[in-house]
Structure 1
């Protein structure tokens, strides 16, 4: 097995915290968060990925294992957020600048971004996907108060991108093969479910004795009605996120295929085919066996990296992504990073960089470069190659993907 300088142990932690990063590389606010998480009653262990940075609730790039409890705030408000990737039969040499400009227009027209949504719910069967009627009937069994009022919005946001670091990209691998990659979560309905359950946890008498700095991480306990209600809603939101990414992927495939088959591009018509899809969460909860014990594992900004498992680790909008295969490292709770990770806040990025900086960093990539994406500039993120290097005992690289087109919310 490859040896590395990692993991390192976090000093001053109450429970065991192993990190694939050095303390001097992590901002003080994130270190304080990690030490706070280590104080949670019943925590079995905390693992920290190399893309670690401060986050709302719990630190981004953290993996929390507990036997009897979980903190809904540690999952965050974008339940089920994750990424998809699929290789196409297209090659870079078959794509012109004109093709890329036209494709970006097609993608942005077919898939609502930001706070926008579809005019009406997308019909999954018309896209060739499995019938989703049973899934939608489960909406009526969600437990969070008042969530029934979001039914129409939830339907119309299925298959929409959102904003922030969410993206749709065309990328190329080392052989020149074109891939589709995208990143999104459970949209408004997941956000509302999360916020309602986080508030519920804070009200529980069993959390009254938590110190003030841990109140945000108030717990639900296994076997209680509150935990059962949260898990019911969480699992539905995780499935919503995965289905939403699949719908978007089918819409992108359709637009890509139509562009080349109809001959609206600059060459003869081409029939585009697609390989099997990679679809993985990086904000989610799962029950897993760790050290022979049944654990509730919360990954916030971290992916599962079981042995042989394929996943996508994206960087910023200019730096591409990596297709990786998990090595099943038990020390990391079989986990790895979810991306490059921010090295500065959005507000700081907006103060430090300009549209000219965005244009410079995005040269050669078909994308918007206006003021609305300054906070997503690649300079606000950690170096993706360094993140991958730090976790070479967690994953092995299958392909490095370079971005040629990027759609942002």
Structure 2
């Protein structure tokens, strides 16, 4: 569907692909639209909801400046999916051993590998890119415990919150592995460091912004270039993290399933990141805060919640959305509210048929805390087309 609501309370309009939004989201979007360096307009995806720094589900084109808090602290967070040669009828009746095997192989939550799980050549390459960043910003090393060991050992680990690993079945009964994670502790540290640095660098000008989280670096300044270098490194880290997790998950489930191979149909996409792109006649820094790239013919992943369907999609190249689409279902309530409203019994009912945790520790991720994924997909029918519909049968949460 086309744009359903346009907010005109700033220097540029905000074009929103849903009529399901709250006042906090509108306030955040309105604040963004007041900044002088926004190009053309801001697009808000159907899963839009209030976030920290900027609205989740927003696509923000900037000229001559960049807002670290709009990119956020889970830099490069995104999705990876691969189709296997297995059919649903080849899966065992009980998938508990499969879930246990994944959880034993891939650290979740705050955990990391005891030893580096990736090749030494990969670590060497990543370390070479990180060194000049650390040399200029030594304060980063104080933000992560055992900094130089931790980032390496977290490669190939899940994290917590809404990150997950799933085994899914599509409309043709093909089995998929799908996972969601980002740049772990090092990405979080880079995000927090440069958000704080932007606020300090603005000095007295910070008080003239609609919100302090909209502090920015101007292009051509030292910190602008340093941030671009650091955020690029973190996005690469996130891609490698998902790639290594996919490798570990594949090896973990092999002993518990019939022999299989991974097909060539694999997708790895960010949904919290910044990229240099051309839109509406200008080169811009395009920040996708909870949104994925959806250029014409481009494959992407839009997950539902831990009890709902997910989708492999193909972009339609809609320029009004800056060739973007939603990154998921989008929350309708905070984690704290979900914990008050639902309990473990509710979670068990809403995840019936899925092999997953059903305890109070993950109640904040209950499907009822998210928007209806079918409505979200209907609201972006002119942004993407559905290629595959996936339903999880195993879900591993942090």
TM-score between both structures, scaled by the size of structure 1: 0.93
- Residue of structure 2 in register with 1:263 after alignment: none
Q: 1:205 & 1:211 partners in 2: Cα distance? A: 10
Asked if 1:147 corresponds to 2:140, the answer is yes
TM-score between both structures, scaled by the size of structure 2: 0.95
- Residue of structure 1 in register with 2:185 after alignment: 188
Contact 2:118 2:156 in 1 (8 A): no
Q: 1:371 aligns with which of 360, 364, 377?
A: 360
- Residue of structure 1 in register with 2:105 after alignment: 110
Matches within 5 A, 1:6-405: 6-22=3-19, 25-44=20-39, 45-98=41-94, 100-124=95-119, 131-142=122-133, 143-148=136-141, 150-205=147-202, 208=205, 210-211=207-208, 213-260=210-257, 269-405=258-394
Structure 1 residue 378, shift from structure 2 partner:
0.1
Q: 1:215 & 1:252 partners in 2: Cα distance? A: 41
Q: CA RMSD in A?
A: 1.5
Q: 1:324 & 1:90 partners in 2: Cα distance? A: 21
3-state DSSP of counterpart to 2:263: coil
Instruction: Mark the runs of 5 or more structure 2 residues left unpaired by the alignment.
Output: none
Contact 1:201 1:207 in 2 (8 A): no
Distance 1:16 1:219, change over 3 A: same
Give the count of matched residue pairs: 391
Distance 1:124 1:30, change over 3 A: same
Contact 1:75 1:298 in 2 (8 A): yes
How big is each residue's C-alpha offset from its partner over 1:85-118, in whole Å with a ceiling of 9 and x where there is no partner?
Answer: 00001111011233x1111000000000000000
Contact 2:206 2:215 in 1 (8 A): no
3-state DSSP of counterpart to 1:97: coil
Deviates more, 1:13-22 or 1:322-331: 13-22
3-state DSSP of counterpart to 1:277: strand
Q: 2:255 & 2:54 partners in 1: Cα distance? A: 43
Q: 1:109 & 1:274 partners in 2: Cα distance? A: 25
Instruction: Mark the runs of 5 or more structure 1 residues left unpaired by the alignment.
Output: 261-268
Q: 1:174 & 1:161 partners in 2: Cα distance? A: 27
Q: 2:391 & 2:202 partners in 1: Cα distance? A: 51
3-state DSSP of counterpart to 1:358: helix
Structure 1 residue 211, shift from structure 2 partner:
2.6
